[in-house]
Each structure stands twice: as C-alpha cells, then as structure tokens.
Amino acid sequence: MAVSIDDIKKLKELTGVGLTDAKTALVEADGDFDKALEAMRKKGLTKAEKKADREALEGVIDSYVHGGRIGVLVEVNCETDFVARTDNFKEFAHMIALQVASMSPIYVSEADIPAEELERVRQEALASDALKGKPADIADKIVEGQVKKHFADKVLLNQSYIMDDSKTVADFLKETIAKTGENVVVRRFKRIELGVND
C-alpha cells in the first residue's frame, strides 16, 4: 500500500522514530495514520520504560513566573548534555514548570510521599463510616482507593497533563523519553506563591 510522504514525516515528528520505521508503521496500519501513531507510541513507550533505569545527571533548571504572583523552578534531568540543549527537552522542562504553577503538586512521584503521611491518610480512611459492616477485603480496597484519590492531585506525575487531559504527566514524560531516546527524570520542583507560606 502506498502511503503519503507527509504522513510519514508527521509520524516521524510526533514519535521521534526514523523515516523507515514511520513508513513501516503506516504500511502495517494500511495507511491509517491514527492506528500507526498508536502502534509507534506503544513501541516507543515500551522502549522508554527500559530506559528508566539509566542514570540521568545532565539537564536543565527551568523557571516560570505567572503574573508576578506565582514562581516555579524545576530541575529536569537527562543522560547527555546534547539532549539537554535540544528544543524538545527544554520545552518539556518548561511545560513541567507550567504544570507545577497551574496545578500546585506537592510531590514529584508517589515514592516521594512520606510514609507517615501515607499512614495518616490511611488511618483517616479506615475511621470512615463508609467502611462499617464491610468485609475486610472490600474495606481494604476502599481504603486504598481513598488514599490514591487523596494523593491524585498532589503527585505531579499522576496529574492530568494541562495541555492534554487525555493523558497524565507520566504519559507526557514517557513520550519525551521515547522522543529523546534517553532517560528523562523530573528531579524536583519548588513553587512559591505570593503571600502563601508552605
């Protein structure tokens, strides 16, 4: 099946793969661009997950100030200085700064939540009237669901991405890993709001 060069270029641009891989994906999808894009994303995200163990010590610190009232600093790391200087990587870091300014997360990932804070929220959920009379296994699932819900907006990677709410910030991060071909890590952030003590 013949596929258009414009579709090949567009797929290459969106996924960060080579022209040959983009063409192959389109041929395998019988010219269906969306189907090819989905296949390439899955392939790229699988590769991205394998890269997550590699050390990322290069990167950038990006800042964003909104109306002189909210300021954000973020540190985003990658493996090489070469990738750190690319527009794609810098744009990713800046979008993370915008996300932090807009959505006020407290933690980068679930691993950053202190154990005592997790336990406090779990105990509050256990004391809920909604659990009375429920079997232990169902009560445990309800508690876990409530804990997850409590932290959903507080964890940056779990938040809906502000530019596309069909994906999370973690999905956006995996796409960036697939595009750059390197491990990318949101290391830390600091959000300051005028008149608000943290």
DSSP state of 108: S
In contact, 75 and 187? CB cutoff 8 Å? yes
Report the pLDDT value the prediction gives residue 162, as an integer from 0 to 100.
94
Domains within the chain, CATH numbers bracketed: 5-51 (1.10.8.10), 58-108+154-193 (3.30.479.20), 114-152 (1.10.286)
Q: Which residues contact 177 (CB under 8 A, 6 or more apart)?
A: 47, 48, 51, 52, 183, 184
Counting runs of H as helices and runs of E as strands, what totals does the chain give? 8, 5
CB 62 within 8 A of CB 84: no
pLDDT averaged per 10 residues in sequence order, the chain, 198 residues? 76 68 80 78 58 75 94 95 94 97 94 90 80 76 84 92 93 91 92 85
DSSP 181: T
Look at the pTM and tell me if it is higher than 0.85: no
Closest to 74 measured CA to CA, from 89, 94, 90, 52: 94
Q: Which residues pair with 164 in a beta bridge?
A: 161
- How confident is the model at residue 53, as a pLDDT? 61
Compute the distance between CA of residue 20 and CA of residue 79 in angstroms, rounded to an integer: 26
